Amino acid sequence: MPTILIVDDNHLACEAISLVLESAGYTVRQAHRVAEAVEAVDADCPDLAIVDLSMPDGNGVDLIRTLHQGHPHLPIILYSGFFTPEDDAEKRANRMDGVVAVFKKPLRNNDLLTAIRRALGPVEG
């Protein structure tokens, strides 16, 4: 089963996403800080990472750059509750290496699962 790392400082959001992904057949790990995410990926690279833009010890864009440098084939989904029409962060994120999808919170389960399947293929097993 593919492993997905969720990186979000909001524990409830991590749990909610975990339930959706586990019920779809994925193995899920969680990290709640940027440093924890880097350590988790370096120790055992997941098949995909879902990264929140806003973190207490950094931001998702910087984390994506760091992860992509060490793991250039890791697909990443970025999401945030803070994208605004005036903010170009969403546009910049869409052009970043490794980013396969960008979503605004709240995540819609079907959209998230579709993006994951597009990046990884169907779950087997």
**Which DSSP symbol is given to 106?**
S
In this prediction, residue 84 carries a pLDDT of 56
Position 124 scores a pLDDT of: 76
pTM above 0.85, yes or no: yes
Q: Which residues of the chain have pLDDT under 50?
A: none
The whole-angstrom separation of Cα 83 and Cα 95 is: 15
DSSP per position, 27-69: EEEEESSHHHHHHHHHHS--SEEEEESEETTEEHHHHHHHHHH
Domains and CATH numbers, the chain: 3-119 (3.40.50.2300)
76 by Cβ neighbours in 10 Å (0-12 / 13-18 / 19+) ranks as buried
